Amino acid sequence: MTALVLLTAVAFLLAWPVPIEPVAWQAPPNPGYSGKFAANEHLANLELLSIGDNHGPEGIALDAQGRIYAATAEGRIVRLAADGSQPENWADTGGRPLGIEFDPQGNLIVADAFRGLLLITPDSQVKVLATEADGIPIRYANELAVAADGRIYFSDSSTKFGARKSGGAYEASLLDIMEHGGHGRVLVYDPATARATTFIKGLNFPNGVAISPDQRYLLVAETGAYRVLRYWLAGPRQGQSEVFIDTLPGFPDNLSTGRDGRYWLALVAPRNPLLDKLADKPGWRKLVQRLPELLRPKAKAYGHVLALNGDGQVVLNLQDPAGGYPLITAAVEGGAFLYLGSLTAPTLGRLAKSKLRF
């Protein structure tokens, strides 16, 4: 009987169908929490802001009046007063809003993982801008940046593992990163044509997107490769790309353009040693995917936010190894504060900039 059980278990691990077809690759060395990434507790004891009966404030934006907006797991956009009080359910996308940013006309643009690219008017009316690009459905709209000319650059993190079909944004991200098949792309929506087209393709879970203040280049966080890429939009290097920062100690998530030439990058979780070790062993990764969910690699709570300058150098390294504010997805600079979003927290995080040393 024992032999039969063991034989059945082996057969299951070797043959049970799974949705991924892993691709071999070479994971870069993990620098760990040393040097410019040295561990500290600068993100411990954050001020927490209520978002009412919501959780998972993945994306954050501030309007011209300083009011704070957060995209939540309930599908709602929560709005807080400029002082961080009075949370209200301002709009409902009917999906899973992730990245949010205001356009020049005061509309809130939303990358909704379930519904595509959306626009919410100042009176809370939700409109669909794009659900496909170049004949391919947008299955995982994730983060965005609005250019000065009104064009919207946004990530479609996986054309294979859609957020809705996979059971959620987090679940889809695990599948795409485990496969490492280059199913991600960055799209650009042109309001003049009301159409989205492919700007970059072949990326491994592209996530955060940010535009330089001079509009000359676009930054893209490639979560599955532990790096941020730069794509030149104008100037002598237009059309070229390069690595902005790589060999990160965690999974890069949202990006935002801050002040004085800064960019804020949230690292949602530390790298997983097993995942890195199996990077060039696709067969083993497939086997791991057959294990019970409890035994598969998953995100570990560890607070980490970086401020980068225009050369991709770390100018500020903020951490909380205890992960008191779990799975930080976004860092947005506004007024006197740095606001932090999370994949799972029931609150927004806030840190006074007066406590930071740039």
**pLDDT digits 0-9 by tens, 52-66:** 999 999 999 999 999
Q: Number of C-alpha atoms within 13 angstroms, CB side, residue 317?
A: 15
Q: Please name which of 130, 138, 137, 60 lies closest in space to residue 97, comparing C-alpha atoms.
A: 60
pLDDT at 40: 97
CA separation for the pair 318, 131 (Å, rounded): 36
CA separation for the pair 339, 358 (Å, rounded): 16
Q: Which two tokens stand for residue 316?
A: 């500020």
The residue among 355 and 219 whose pLDDT is bigger is 219
Do 186 and 221 touch, CB atoms closer than 8 A? no
Percentage of the chain lying above the pLDDT 70 cut: 96
User: Domains in the chain and their CATH numbers?
Assistant: 30-355 (2.120.10.30)
Average pLDDT of the residues in 244-272: 98
pLDDT at 291: 96
CA separation for the pair 110, 334 (Å, rounded): 19
Q: Is the pLDDT of residue 259 over 70?
A: yes
| 322, containing H or E segment | none
CA separation for the pair 95, 168 (Å, rounded): 10
Average pLDDT of the residues in 192-197: 98
CA separation for the pair 3, 6 (Å, rounded): 5
Per residue in 121-162, pLDDT tens?
999 999 999 999 999 999 999 999 999 999 999 999 999 999
Q: Please name which of 211, 210, 217, 310 lies closest in space to residue 266, comparing C-alpha atoms.
A: 210
Which amino acid, residue 305?
A: V
pLDDT at 228: 99
pLDDT at 358: 72
State pTM to two decimals. Answer: 0.95
Which letter does DSSP use for residue 205 in this model? S
* Tokens 């077809």, located at residue: 21
pLDDT at 129: 98
Instruction: Give 2's pLDDT tier (boundaries 50, 70, 90).
Output: low
Average pLDDT of the residues in 279-285: 98
Q: Which two tokens stand for residue 75?
A: 């599908």
CA separation for the pair 33, 231 (Å, rounded): 28
Instruction: Give 8's pLDDT tier (boundaries 50, 70, 90).
Output: very low
Q: Which two tokens stand for residue 63?
A: 């309007």
pLDDT at 1: 52
pLDDT at 61: 98
pLDDT at 326: 96
CA separation for the pair 263, 272 (Å, rounded): 25
Average pLDDT of the residues in 65-82: 98
Per residue in 13-33, pLDDT tens?
445 889 999 999 999 999 999
